[in-house]
Amino acid sequence: MTNSTDFVVLLIGRLYGKIQEREPLPTIISALLVHRFFQKYEPQSPGIFAFLLLVFPAVVSGVLRNGASSILWPLLRTYTIFYTSLISSVVLYRLSPFHPLAKYPGPVLAKISKLWFARLGWQGKQHIHYRDLHKKYGDVVRVGPNEIMLSDPSVIAPLLGPAGWGKGSYWHARALHAPVVALSAVNDHAEHAQRRRTWTRGFSPAALKDYEEIVKERVVQLTETLSARKSVDLARLFAFFAHDVMNDMAFGGGSEMLRDGDLTGHWALVESGMRIFTLIGHLPWLSRFIMLIPGSTNDLDNMRKACFERAIARKKKGTKQKDLFYYLSDELGAEKDEIPFEIIINDGDLVVIAGSDTTKTVLSSLFFYLLCNPEKLAKLREEIDGFYPPGETLSSKHFQEMSYLDACINEALRLSPAVPSGSQRDVGPDPDPSKGRTFGSYYFPEGTAVSIHTFTLHRDSRNFSPFTDEFWPERWLIAQGSMELPNSIPKAEFVHDTTAFIPFSYGPANCVGKPLAILELRMTTVSIIQNLDLKFEDWYARTWEDDLDDRFVLMTGQLPVVFSNRW
């Protein structure tokens, strides 16, 4: 650090020219000290920000006034020198060869500040920008002053596996206002494993069998709604459907959006909230400032109040209903200690938010791709009709045999992963110094935020080829050996690397709700295609992929579809 500080001091000295007065030098040094303090301790408190960036320069100005009759000019002069020096120090250091991430390529503006990607995140197209950066710079890209984005499948297991690193600052900022930290943001491996035990029991095969009737009732309701309305925004109906299902699972009910619509504005709040969460994910310190604004947390407080009321109502029902609440609250008595009610509420809230957004996105994308490819839809319908002819009761008994159904679902997950920009990790100190923090040719110093970009992995021709950006479910059947590679495609051109397929993340912190999500995707798809004919509205320009916004979860645009009864 000494060499880099000397380097910066010399450059700033040249910027100001030959310093003939002694007065500016203490201000310059104070700016360098503030930079060093932020660099080492990364303070998040607004109070510390205010002291170091406002009070400290004012104190320096007072010391340097030398009996001047007016404070305004010395204060203005000091602030100008201080901020010019501070900004110059930050920019020059982050772009200098002394920075520990200097060898990794990336946009200059991204290296200087996270403000650049915060702007892209606010606009919603960061998943596209990340992919473009990987195309330009390669598998490792510096996307922030201390942040790396990867698109190399070989680092998935080391980064996200059992020996991987803890959650990054992106997660910590989102958890600030919560009374307890959500499972998805828990950083400590031991605490995460302990908290996840109830979730694991709640998504076991035996538990999933209990949930089937809950999901089935909502799927039947959705199918009947589509049949009655004829023309709908299918993405919005899928959102309401998924929200109702997740409330049934987490709180034993309490939501009827599929029937009534978004009367309380809850879903609109979720969608607008995701935009804010994306912004503070890039700028974690900003969340503490937002919380200082009167009324800024009212919507979150109201959501938690609603969850609290639903949790109380569900608890009064007792243990007869084996929904997810049954397991998350440990009504079966498997845990040694009683689970705090705050954690139960927080976990239930996480179930609703995480399970609704992701299911809606994947279902909507699946039906978009099927409608864009009528021959694939016809092939899937043929398989569904074979297992579920007219009059056949909806159930999961044939799902394991339906290879083309799973191929279509996997292909939708590949093209439109619900969480396209991955799950951020922070490099911590390695307990074994001999190993360091090196994966292959990549070395990341402690404190570096690292993510694997799922969207890029899934759309990389080195991992999936041919038709990398196209909906081609057959690739999954060919890879399984249940279908021959067409003669028109040379064998050398077929690439199918499932190690690069991580739509539910990877490792001990992956999506624990994957089994339920797959059940919902299968059952909903089978029911709709079994009972209804469907097509796009004539006016629809098929802008689905262009309308997708990355707000951590992919947020969707409209999907206008016309339905008619088959029977």
Write out the binding residues for heme. Answer: 511
Map tokens 């409209």 to a residue.
558
> Quick check: bond before 466 cis, omega within 30?
yes
Closest-CA residue to 419 (of 521, 315, 520, 553):
553
**438-439 and 231-233: which strand pairing?**
unpaired
Furthest C-alpha separation in the chain: 94
41, with CB counted inside 10 A (0-12, 13-18, 19+), is exposed
**With contact defined as beta carbons under 8 Å apart, do 280 and 290 qualify?**
yes
Write phi, then psi, for 553 (nearest 5 degrees): -95, 145
**What's the rounded Cα separation, in Å, for the pair 8 and 239?**
52
Annotated binding site: 511
Q: How many CB atoms lie within 10 A of CB 445?
A: 12
DSSP string, 501-516: --TT--GGGS-TTHHH
* CA atoms 60, 61, 63, 64: torsion sign: positive
CA distances from 516 to 198, 323, 508 (A): 15, 12, 17
Angle between helices 341-372 and 514-531 in degrees, nearest 10: 40
Residue type, 511: C
Candidates 38, 86, 98, 39; CA nearest to 60 is 86
Structure tokens at 269: 């709040």
Cβ neighbours, 10 Å, residue 317: 13
Annotate 180-195 with DSSP letters as a single string.
Answer: S--GGG---HHHHHHH
What is the Cα 197 distance to its own chain's centre? Answer: 22
H helices present in 331-373, as ranges: 341-372
Where does 532-564 have alpha helices with state H?
A: 544-547
Decide the pairing of beta strands 442-443 and 438-439. antiparallel
Give the H or E element holding residue 522.
Answer: helix 514-531
Q: How far apart are CA 246 and CA 45, in angstroms?
A: 36
How much of the chain is in helix, strand and coil states, percent to nearest 5?
60, 10, 35
DSSP assignment of 103-157: TS---HHHHH-THHHHHHHHHT-HHHHHHHHHHHH-SEEEEETTEEEE--GGGHH
| Contact between residue 142 and residue 443 where contact means Cβ atoms under 8 Å apart | no
**The CA-based dihedral angle spanning residues 241, 201, 311, 349, taken in that order and rounded to the nearest 10 degrees:** -60
Specify the amino acid at residue 416: S
